[in-house]
Amino acid sequence: MSKKILVIGSSGQIGTELVEGLRARFGNENVVASDIKQPQVEQSGPFAMVDAMDRRGIERIIEKHGSPKSICSPHC
């Protein structure tokens, strides 16, 4: 299994652009988008609903999709 990139906060303006760029570079299935709300655009790869403060929720995403190579947040 290849390493994934997890983007937390992917449904906003910056997150949407970040996910699109990462998926273009690394492939749709290698970038897991996540946010506390549903995305406004159709997803071309995996998406998970999770609150960034929910440690167990993020752990479940990692268990399902594999250990991420990187975790990105456009809000930092």
**Neighbour tally for 20: CB within 10 Å:** 16
Q: Who's near 30: CB < 8 A, 6+ residues apart?
A: 2, 3, 4, 5, 23, 45
Indicate if the pLDDT at residue 1 is higher than 60.
Answer: no
**Neighbour tally for 28: CB within 10 Å:** 13
- Give this prediction's pTM: 0.86
Alpha helices, DSSP H only, in 1-76?
A: 13-26, 55-65
Per-residue pLDDT reduced to its tens digit, 24-66? 999 999 999 999 998 888 899 999 999 999 999 999 999 999 8
Q: Is 51 helix (H, G, I), strand (E, B) or coil?
A: coil
